[in-house]
Amino acid sequence: MDHSTRAAQFIRNEARVHWHDQALWYVRVKRDKMAQSVPEWENLREIAAQIKAHTMSRLPDYLEMFEENATRLGAKVHWAVDAREHNETVYQILKNHGVQRVVKSKSMLTEECHLNPFLEARGIEVVDTDLGERIVQLAQEPPSHIVLPAIHKKKEEIGELFHRYLHTEKGASDPTYLTESARGHLREKFLKADAGITGVNFAIAETGGLVICTNEGNADMGTSLPPLHIACMGFEKLIPRARDLGVFLRLLARSATGQPITTYSAHFHGPRPGGELHIVIVDNGRSQILQKPEFRRTLSCIRCGACMNTCPVYRRSGGHSYDSVVPGPIGSILSPAQDPQRYYSLPFASSLCGSCTDVCPVKIDLHHQLLAWRKELVLQGLIPFSKRLTMKVVGWVFQNTWAYEGTGRLVRWIVPKLPRSVLYNRWNVWGKQRELPPFPKESFREMYRKRKVQGSEARNRK
């Protein structure tokens, strides 16, 4: 199934689409206000983009530096080539420690690697501790947004879910009440956990430290009780120096949720006394993107989600329509890099309006990347033949002015003569909800020719 089919299903419920659109637009507006409060905003974006570009250009050096410094601080660094190796590595560490229960703090990477089912199949209980993540985990759904995983769920639906699993009162949908109940439930889980798994927002090469940003403090909770902390990160999370952090922390929260700063930015420099810190650094297709200069900028992404909030297509088609761990504009260029066959329709799920590009705090030229992906998919032969053929034919007509003029004249002559029932048939996708444009008698060039002749006649008469 492609994106347009899933989007059409989502759109069937118009009221819900409007609600979804408004909820995300609200975040976008908050972001605008917060960005406005920083006079040097555009400057910051530029610096952030350059830091990331620089890091990617010397990635092996920085990775080595990071490993060295992290190890010096007492952390243990593991490398994983793909999702499978990542999951195995995490499982082995857990097994070696005899871990039964894990609390996880939001990590899109473990989502990308499908770590939960992998561990669960091996008898380990995994609890997502971010409220939104917990909601979708209970609903047995994937997140629909990378920062607001349950943004597609109404509070009434969450109330029902909590009633079923957390035994809240039936029909209760008050967010404060529900959040409190979830907190109580999660506290239990935190207390009983043997290990905490977290994602990583920034890994600092110069110090070997990690920074994890959450709004609920769940990363801190998940790592301060259990003795074992496993941090999982894609290699693009690297930044060179501690002093670069300020640039990204200022951009991240403002872009993501319109907050001046994330509520909790937890810094980890080595394991806490008596504990263990393992860092798993994952490639999983990233080095392929790194090798392609035209797509490299994709790796600058700091996963703020702003491109989703602003994307008019995402807002109206919902995160699940992308059928991918990372949806929206950024997901539409990351996903085909991992599996072009499965995700061939995503780069076309965009009007190329460019709003994502202008909102992106690290200045990824998202809409140009989407276009570049379309080209790449055509080259790989992944676009339906009928579509290719249409473009070939139309292209040929445009190349030959006589054919273009002839076709134009013919169409403009025939269409107005056709009855509505013939014109608005089921193959006329344009006409399902829209009227066709007018089909005038004369084209511009015909009018122009006439005017020229009249003009010269008038001059001759003088």
Partner 1 sequence: MIKVGLFIPCYIDQLYPQVGMATLKVLERFNVEVDYPLDQTCCGQPMANAGCAADAAPLAEKFYRIFKDYPYVVCPSGSCTSMVRNHYDDYLKGKPGLEELKKKTFELCEFLTDVLKLEKIEGRFPYRVGLHQSCHGLRELRLAKSSERMGNPFSKVSPLLESLEGITLVKLSRPDECCGFGGTFAVGEEAVSCMMGKDRIADHEQSGTEVLTGVDMSCLMHLDGLIRRAGKPIRVMHIAEILAGD
Contacts with partner 1 in 4-43 (CB under 8 A)? 4, 7-8, 11, 14, 17, 21, 25, 32, 35-36, 38-39, 41-42
State how far the Cα of 152 lies from the Cα of 316, in Å rounded to an integer.
Answer: 11
Asked whether position 307 contacts ligand SF4 by CB under 6 A, the answer is yes
Asked whether position 121 contacts partner 1 by CB under 8 A, the answer is no
Pick 38 or 172: Cβ nearer partner 1 = 38
Binding residue for ligand SF4 (CB under 6 A) from 126, 158, 182, 330?
330
* 217 residue type, one letter: G
Binding residue for ligand SF4 (CB under 6 A) from 158, 306, 325, 346?
306
State how far the Cα of 85 lies from the Cα of 87, in Å rounded to an integer.
Answer: 5
CB 336, CB 326: distance < 8 Å: no
70 binds, among ligand SF4, partner 1, none (CB under 5 to 8 A by kind): none
Residue with tokens 């008019």: 312
CB 213, CB 201: distance < 8 Å: yes
Q: Which two tokens stand for residue 292?
A: 């392609």
Q: What angle do CA 313, 286, 52 make, to 5 degrees?
A: 80
Binding residue for partner 1 (CB under 8 A) from 291, 386, 433, 460?
433
Pick 282 or 366: Cβ nearer ligand SF4 = 366
Which residues, 322 to 351, sit near partner 1 by CB under 8 A? 347-351
- First-to-last alpha carbon distance for the chain, in angstroms, is 69
Which residues, 387 to 426, sit near partner 1 by CB under 8 A? 387-388, 391-392, 394-395, 397-399, 401, 404, 408, 411-412
Sign of CA dihedral 230, 137, 86, 245: negative
* 218 residue type, one letter: N
- DSSP-derived 3-state class of residue 357: helix
361 binds, among partner 1, ligand SF4, none (CB under 5 to 8 A by kind): ligand SF4
361-371 as b/e, with b when 16 or more CB fall inside 10 Å?
bbbbbbbebbe
State how far the Cα of 294 lies from the Cα of 368, in Å rounded to an integer.
Answer: 10
Binding residue for partner 1 (CB under 8 A) from 92, 260, 445, 453?
445
Which part of the chain contacts ligand SF4 (CB under 6 A), choosing from 23-31, 182-190, 296-304, 312-320? Answer: 296-304
CB 358, CB 366: distance < 8 Å: no
CB 206, CB 113: distance < 8 Å: no
CB 119, CB 91: distance < 8 Å: yes
Q: Which of 239, 269, 240 is nearest to 252 (CA)?
A: 239
Asked whether position 47 contacts partner 1 by CB under 8 A, the answer is no
Pick 41 or 91: Cβ nearer partner 1 = 41
Asked whether position 334 contacts ligand SF4 by CB under 6 A, the answer is no
| Residue 172: CB minimum distance to partner 1, A | 32
Asked whether position 264 contacts partner 1 by CB under 8 A, the answer is no
Binding residue for ligand SF4 (CB under 6 A) from 44, 77, 233, 304?
304
Binding residue for ligand SF4 (CB under 6 A) from 134, 254, 303, 320?
303
Binding residue for partner 1 (CB under 8 A) from 442, 453, 454, 455?
442
Which residues, 205 to 224, sit near partner 1 by CB under 8 A? none
Sign of CA dihedral 20, 23, 28, 29: positive
Residue with tokens 């410094």: 69
User: What is the 8-class DSSP label of residue 432?
Assistant: G
Which part of the chain contacts partner 1 (CB under 8 A), choosing from 83-91, 133-141, 204-212, 371-379? Answer: 371-379
Residue with tokens 């609903």: 139
Pick 291 or 386: Cβ nearer partner 1 = 386
x/- map, 203-242, ligand SF4, by CB under 6 A: ----------------------------------------
364 binds, among partner 1, ligand SF4, none (CB under 5 to 8 A by kind): ligand SF4
Asked whether position 434 contacts partner 1 by CB under 8 A, the answer is yes
CB 286, CB 83: distance < 8 Å: no
Q: Which residues bind ligand SF4 (CB under 6 A)?
A: 255, 301-307, 330, 359-362, 364, 366
